[in-house]
Amino acid sequence: MSAPLLRVTGLRKEFGSRRILDIPEIKLEAGKAYVLTGDNGSGKTTLLRILAGLESAKIETYEFEDRALPLASLRDWIRYQVIYVEQHPYLFNTTIAHNIEYGLKVRRIAKPIRDTLVSEALDWAGVNHVSNVAPRHLSGGEKQRVALARTKILNPKLVLLDEPTANLDQAARAQTIALIQKMCQENNCVLIACHDHDIIRLPNMNILTLADGTLQTPSSSGVKLAVIS
Amino acid sequence: MDLFQSTRDAFHLLFSGDRELWGIIFVSLRVSLTALAIVAPIAIVAGYFLATKRFLGRRTIVIVIQGLLSFPTVVVGLVLYMLLSRQGPLGSLHMLFTPSAMILGQMMIVLPVLVAFTISAVQGADPRAHDTAIGLGASRVRASLTVLWEVRFGVMAAIFNGFGRIISEVGAALMLGGNIAGLTRNIPTTIALETSKGEFAQGIALGFVLIALALGLNFTLARFQGEGGLK
């Protein structure tokens, strides 16, 4: 088996005296797609945010590409490799094209290359028609697709998607799932927190189940098992 | 007083390029814009910090800053006068009755306005804005700048308010500048003193300039402000 892209051990999270997460080990492999299921309030969002370095937790080791990273400045180390997309993505108050371009500007990519990549990403997500529109004029499905395009354009090694199809109508859901499927096929490692059976049943999807604050043995959905100790 | 005649004289002064009048306008602009340029970056950073960080004493600092919003400018002038006068602790700087003293006074007046409005603007920002910027790879500084850009309507409002407060204040400017012709005489001190001497034309002309400045600057800055409103 190849070395994991991400390996986190001894992950614990508490809010006051209440323990939310207690996960001895979680491993994610490069190029694989994972779905994280669990009841509402089971800590899926918290886990994703912790893995993205956006929320603090007690962690013994955080290894990315076989390298143990300093926990105090975790986000600084993984900021170009790991992207977390919120359930209701926030789009900056500018045009959609500028939203998609944001991460490239942060990475100081030259303007001509940025323009080409943004154009490709707009096509990829099917949001070309709204490229110069302000976010407030977009539907929920379009916002989600823009958020996915904004993520995909950066080609991160790990994408963490939080309930990407929640509150979307049938057509928007189908479009979003199609994009997620494309993203999974493009060799990104994707971890998706959701209850959506259409995502869970995607080909080669590995299932992680969060219950009682820890990752459980995968359910009997017939899909390939996740790498969980 | 013939209001019509005074207004006609005022326009004549303005459009004939009267040196004294335009010198007064220049002093006003130089003092207020310098004070604003020095204080704005510091105040916006301080406002952002106070809006986003939690630490012991933060609430007290915010309450004091909000209290300073209603501090009479003449009292700011009085305090600085005492500090800068020859017998005062800063008397050796020989700043009293200079444009520098006026700038210092206006900096003290505009600081709480900018900090308080920035706190209010940043606290009203969507908390996801910062996380999204960080999540897309922005550094903490870059993410903070992104949030400030997101709330630029409020931050620009802070700058408008701050400028409006100092360009038109008379108390501190009079006490610290001394209304010296060609040196520290600015628009509000001239209006206040010349009118009391019966010189209405200059006062009216400068009044028009103040109004034009307020509108002109607002239109200019509004271009950077965005539309605001509910998203």
Burial class (CB in 10 A: 0-12, 13-18, 19+), B73: buried
What residues of B are in contact with residue A75 (Cβ under 8 Å)? 134
Of A185, A189, A205, the residue nearest A197 (C-alpha): A205
Domain range annotation of chain B: 3-225
ipTM: 0.84
Helix B19-52 vs helix B58-68: crossing angle, to nearest 10: 160
Query: Which structure tokens are listed for A99?
Result: 């939203």
H-helix or E-strand spanning residue A168: none
Query: Which structure tokens are listed for A94?
Result: 């500018």
pLDDT tens-place string over residues A199-208: 888 888 899 9
Count of domains observed in chain A: 1
Average pLDDT in the A166-190 region? 82
CATH architecture under which domain B3-225 falls:
Orthogonal Bundle (1.10)
Listed in sequence order, the DSSP H helices in chain B are 3-15, 19-52, 58-68, 73-84, 99-123, 127-135, 140-150, 152-167, 171-177, 187-196, 200-225
Of A54, A85, A154, the CB nearest to B137: A154
The domain of A29 spans: 6-216
A99 part of a folded domain: yes
A150 part of a folded domain: yes
| Per-residue model confidence as pLDDT tens for chain B (231 residues) | 577 777 888 888 888 888 888 899 999 999 999 999 999 999 999 999 999 999 999 999 999 999 998 889 999 999 999 999 988 899 899 999 999 999 999 999 999 999 999 999 999 999 899 999 998 999 999 999 999 999 998 898 899 889 989 998 999 999 999 999 889 999 999 988 888 888 788 888 888 888 888 888 778 777 766 555 444
What residues of A are in contact with residue B133 (Cβ under 8 Å)? 102, 106
Q: Where residue A225 falls among pLDDT bands split at 50, 70, 90?
A: very low
What residues of B are in contact with residue A93 (Cβ under 8 Å)? 150, 226, 231
Helix, coil or strand: residue B171: helix
Which residues in A have their CB inside 8 Å of a CB on B? Answer: 52, 54, 75-76, 79-80, 83-86, 88-90, 92-93, 102-103, 106-107, 135-136, 150-151, 154
Cα gap A82→B173, rounded to integer Å: 55
Chain A: nearest CA to B222, how far in angstroms?
16
A173 part of a folded domain: yes
CB contact under 8 A, A106 and B138: yes
In degrees rounded to 5, what are phi and psi of residue A19?
Answer: -85, 120
CB contact under 8 A, A136 and B231: yes
Q: How far is CA A74 from the centre of its chain?
A: 17
**Rounded to the nearest 10 degrees, how much is the dihedral formed by the CA atoms of B165, B166, B168, B174?**
130
| Average pLDDT score over chain A | 87
Contact A99, A146 (CB under 8 A): yes
A148 part of a folded domain: yes
Of A79, A90, A107, the CB nearest to B132: A90
Of A109, A110, A187, A183, the residue nearest A147 (C-alpha): A183
Q: Where residue A228 falls among pLDDT bands split at 50, 70, 90?
A: very low
Amino acid at B221: L
H-helix or E-strand spanning residue A170: helix A170-185
pLDDT tens-place string over residues A35-76: 999 888 889 999 999 999 999 899 999 999 989 999 888 888
Cα gap B119→B111, rounded to integer Å: 12
A136 part of a folded domain: yes
Chain B: nearest CA to A223, how far in angstroms?
30
Cα gap A215→A11, rounded to integer Å: 11
Amino acid at B155: V
Instruction: Establish if B146 touches chain A: CB-CB under 8 angstroms.
Output: yes
Task: Supply the CATH number for residue A174's domain.
Answer: 3.40.50.300
CB contact under 8 A, B132 and A154: no
What residues of A are in contact with residue B132 (Cβ under 8 Å)? 86, 89-90, 92
CB contact under 8 A, B146 and A92: yes
Cα gap B156→B150, rounded to integer Å: 11
Query: Which structure tokens are listed for A68?
Result: 């143990």
What residues of B are in contact with residue A106 (Cβ under 8 Å)? 133, 136-139, 142
